[in-house]
Amino acid sequence: MGYPAVRLSRMRRTPHLRASLRETHVIPSRLFLPVFLDPTVSRPTPITSMPGHFRYPVHAATDLVRRAEKARLGGLLLFGRPSVKRVDGVGARDPKGVVPTFLRKHAGNTSLTLVADVCLCAYTTSGHCGVGKSGKIESAATLAALSRAAAAYAEAGADWVAPSAMADGQVAAIRKELDDRSRDEVAIMSYGLKSSSALYDPFREAEDSAPATGDRKSYQMDYSNAREGLRELEFDAEEGADVLMVKPGLTQLDLLWRARQRFSHPLAIYHVSGEYAQVKAAAEKGWLEESRVVPEIFTAFFRAGADLVFSYYALEAVEQGWI
């Protein structure tokens, strides 16, 4: 039976009808806000390419935590920087580093899930995500460094650690390190399908983490390869990842959908810095309305299968009443 007996528009006629029949909902508790912590600044310092975001010293981040709690966000994703970069990125595992310091201050005192990103790019003089020379990543040294960093965050109170270096075997190495230290309660969210993307550039300004030479294409995914991306997720799942992430977001909705068909794990997607900056810049030009665009983007993520969305818009969207 078709038109005119069936008219689907009948069920879209009023705001009440549309709200009652909405299939996909954006819920604040499933939104996570990335936060940049910087021991070299004394007050919140604006990030030029990410308007509305700042590098925070630990003592100045408390207000942001309280705002996120009031908005009932799911959690915070913590990124840190060292006071001094080193070849081996040793600052990433410093128990007195900015991320462990933040965790010791807030863990157990907040309703937010605290997630510590585990990578070396902001901590190494090379700007690469692993330890190595001449742009070549040394696997054993990298896995050891990532594992020790994850352990430092876990011991400081992180709820989850989130390896993002795309190093083969990183999930298994971190799981073993945590379990050996009796931190088996700490979950691992793996950036399992993280493609090499031009959309990360504002983040690299925020973290001062651009590679000094070369690029990251030898260890980050080729965004052309869907089947290989699913294999990356499979390996991380087999190694013990509790949550699997797809990154970037908008350009890989198809991969998120494929992952949803294959895995029963909670799936996260990262609405990355370049995607945020695009919308923010267009809104500042008056070319589009954030209040309409951001809910549409978030809905697309959840509709495609995400359980969690990591976005620089997470807090603003809730505080402004866009969702």
* Active-site residue, selected from the candidate residues 96, 133, 136, 194: 194
Do 284 and 245 form a contact (C-beta atoms < 8 A)?
no
Report the sign of the C-alpha dihedral through residues 316, 309, 300, 205, in that order: positive
Amino acid present at 138: E
Q: Strand, coil or helix: what is 270?
A: strand
Do 256 and 305 form a contact (C-beta atoms < 8 A)?
yes
* Active-site residue, selected from the candidate residues 70, 85, 247, 285: 247
Closest CA to 124 of 173, 152, 162, 82: 82
Q: Residue 278: CB partners within 8 Å, gap ≥ 6? A: none
What pairing do the DSSP bridges indicate for beta strands 187-194 and 160-163?
A: parallel
Tokens at residue 120, please?
């070396």
The answer to whether residue 194 is catalytic is yes
Q: Strand, coil or helix: what is 98?
A: helix
Tokens at residue 264, please?
């029963």
Which residues are designated catalytic? 194, 247
